[in-house]
Amino acid sequence: MTTKHVAVFVFPGYGHVNPTLEISRCLIALGHRVSYVLDEKLAAPVTALGAEVVPYSSRRGRLGAGAVTGEDIGALGLGFLRESMEVILPLALESFDDDVPDLILYDLESFFTARTAAQRWGRPTVQLFPYVATNEHYSLALEVFDEASESMHKCVELVTEHLAREGKGQDAVWSLMAGIDDRNLVLLPREFQPRGETFDSRFAFTGHSLPADRPGTGSWDRPAGDGPVALVTLGTEVNDRPEFFRTCAEGFADSDWHLVMTTGPGNLPACRQAVAEAGAAARPAGIELHEWLAYNTVLPHVSAVVCNSGISTMLEALSFGKPLVVITYTPEDRVNGRRTAELGLGVELPGEEVTAGRLREAVETVTHSPDIRRGVARMRMNMMAAGGPARAAQLVEGWLSEPATAPEPERAAVR
């Protein structure tokens, strides 16, 4: 098969970029070229695997601390839509003018750039879901967003105005903003997907986005003692919460548990101070703070994982057979936390209800529950059986081999 060119458009966040890396690595191993149009701050791991990057400097905000609403997430999406219209699409069209990609991979947040460029170039698209997917029977958007969201209405207005300038009507708006594509890769097991049985052949559930070979696995140096270990992390979007890490320290201060806590970039000083104020400084061996570390280095040693609901973190923990305590702050967190509890993979603990006692109780529960151990083992097998990034890359290669067609007809709207 001749070398083909795949373009990747994803929201500028670790939870959107990282799940694409191993798929891209596999495509490159198969002899294809992969190019990203990506925030320059996230470019290093992409270039390290051999993909090309067309860089820009993203203006995107963060969700930050406090309660997170659907409107907060909508505002983040509105800002990225503006950035897509003003920066990313023009950059992509200019950069690939003499090197048009053969296929476009994209997440839903990048719908505007990916679908507009695909129509201009007459190229096929594949939508990536690094989170639970949407179809005619289940909609993550309806779980997350208020139908009256001001930001969502503004998104529709911006797309409507753009298409009007192109001479297109309202039907084209809902087509461009549809929640699914004709080809969809879902980077989690079907068994985790709400209403998973309703997803048809347009959706390929590939189980996970983890590499087969994870260098450094288990290389974390366990401290002296034989007490249990827990990994604690709030990921990259809702981690500005030193009070949470203080609560963790308080909850395990009189125990033989060892906590490995990752605070996220820029948060380490505040979290270290909060932990010290909690009295954990009197027991320094029991608290280990990192700005960040590769989870696979420590996961073989832990008995439980306390995390926000980032799918990548959850699936990596499950891949090592570890039960979850999912701390939920956002509407999407609550979807994943509820699913975790329903499937017997762990427990959900709403962020506003976290106390030292409840956190300790939740960790002890998931560690010692035979039912949760069986649920985790079953989901781990489902993940591995789905094929992972290698299968995802093979599917993409199959779509690349299909005959080139004219620009695709407008797809039916699913929100």
Output the domain CATH number for residue 137. 3.40.50.2000
112 and 16 in one domain? Answer: yes
242 and 130 in one domain? Answer: no
CA-to-CA separations, 38 to 78, 84, 87, 110, 404, in angstroms, rounded: 18, 11, 11, 11, 26
Is residue 325 one of the residues assigned to a domain?
yes
Token output for 388: 């992972």
271 and 199 in one domain? Answer: no
379 and 318 in one domain? Answer: yes
First-to-last alpha carbon distance for the chain, in angstroms, is 37
327 and 197 in one domain? Answer: no
Is residue 413 one of the residues assigned to a domain?
no
Triad 162, 184, 384: Cα angle to 5°? 150
CA 309/CA 334 separation, integer angstroms: 8
The CB-based long-range contact list for 359-364 (8 Å cut-off, 24+ gap) reads: 359/247, 359/248, 359/251, 359/306, 359/325, 360/251, 360/252, 360/255, 362/306, 362/325, 363/230, 363/251, 363/252, 363/257, 363/304, 363/306, 363/325
Is residue 407 one of the residues assigned to a domain?
no
204 and 244 in one domain? Answer: no
394 and 372 in one domain? Answer: no
136 and 83 in one domain? Answer: yes
246 and 135 in one domain? Answer: no
Full pLDDT tens readout for the chain, 415 residues: 689 999 999 999 999 999 999 999 999 999 999 999 999 999 999 999 999 999 999 997 766 566 677 777 888 889 999 999 999 999 999 999 999 999 999 999 999 999 999 999 999 999 999 999 999 999 998 888 765 578 888 999 999 999 999 888 888 998 899 999 999 999 999 999 999 999 999 999 999 999 999 999 999 998 877 889 999 998 876 767 888 899 999 999 888 999 999 988 878 888 888 888 776 544 555 889 998 999 999 999 999 999 998 899 999 999 999 999 999 988 888 999 999 999 999 999 998 899 999 999 999 999 999 999 999 999 999 999 999 999 999 999 999 988 765 454 444 445 4
Q: Which of 325, 324, 328, 323 is nearest to 353 (CA)?
A: 328
Q: In what order do the strands lie in the sheet with 324-328?
A: 287-290, 258-262, 229-233, 304-307, 324-328, 346-350
Is residue 318 one of the residues assigned to a domain?
yes
CA-to-CA separations, 250 to 256, 278, 285, in angstroms, rounded: 13, 6, 14
How many domains does the structure of the chain reveal?
2
Q: Which of 131, 8, 157 is nearest to 78 (CA)?
A: 157
Is residue 352 one of the residues assigned to a domain?
yes
Is residue 264 one of the residues assigned to a domain?
yes
286 and 252 in one domain? Answer: yes
Structural domain containing residue 334:
229-385
Say which DSSP state 31 is in: T
